[in-house]
Structure 1
Amino acid sequence: MTDGTPFADGRVGSRFAARNRTDSRWSAVVVAFVLVTAFGLAGGLLGGLAGATTVLVWYVVGTPYAIAVGHVVLVAVFHGGIDPIAFAVVEAGFLVMMLEPAIRSEAPGRVGAVTLGASVALGGLAWLVVRSQPLWLAAAVTIGGLTLASYGLYRYGLVMFGLVEDSEAPHNEPHNDGDDV
């Protein structure tokens, strides 16, 4: 049940071991309600069950997996195609789930703004591509954008936690790898 919340000592904590337990509990309940309701409004009882499945995955393994599983079950519920309004309702539920960590952060406005900006940028990019190109190309562009964003966040985390070497270190010192006998 980890969501990648880093602590000062380098441990990664769960959603309910966060800094403020009360905020974490009520925000998790709100996210669960919003997701099940959004899926239910879009797909009826079967959609509600898909939303509950998404919430369960979110609770157990975290947000990225819930987004992936949620979209897979969305395809299963709407195997014949989905109305754009129903799709927007479900995506709004996913957005609420992605914004939940902002409540627990020390800068909720900044975290929320970055999350919204990234969501709008990736969604807008996919929308622009799908309007003029085949659907598979829109999916590939979206996956590429997510890949670049994920790598950027990974590198940012390494720098923030001091897990990378300083690039200003001198490179002209002799290196002894133990082969000098």
Structure 2
Amino acid sequence: MESTRIAEQAEETGAPLTAAEEEQAGYALRELTTKPGDADAALVSREWLTLVQPFFELGWAMGVRTGSTGFAMVGVPVDGATVAHAFAQLNGERAADLLARGLEDPQNAGPSIWQRVRYHGSLTQAHGTYWVSAIHAHGDPVSMVPTRRYDLCELQGETPVPVVSNVRRVSLTPLGEWLTAL
């Protein structure tokens, strides 16, 4: 009976990743992210590899430790489309995060949703101050930096009324005022 463990106690115990697990995961990650036949030609940047490596190692170790990496798939590489999709998802997540925090260009960070802005774009009849009601990001597959466009509105009571849409960042001056609640 002394060797019997309660399930809750078993879940609390564990062991950190071993050097062998980290080494195996590192090898597998490099194998997934290099061009076949050219180990020096990376398909993704070193920045991305650094970002995903801890999660990849964790997933690798969890798969090994739970027995989910059985012999059925030994010698069968993961197809390139699956790898590309995973990194595209990561890029999309990162781009959205950068957009939300305005870090892609800290010197020229755009306004946030429900921030007051002054519009001074090509529609001169619409010049004035408005609230940002939407931000649209359009991806650039080369630079991975999104192009942002803004929708602006006025408030009539508590109802946002669209005024100008698809506004470029250069046509806006963010003001230090945010809408707290409708």
TM-score between the two structures when normalised by the length of structure 2: 0.25
Structure with greater helix percent: 1
Structure with greater strand percent: 2
Bigger Rg, structure 1 or 2: 2
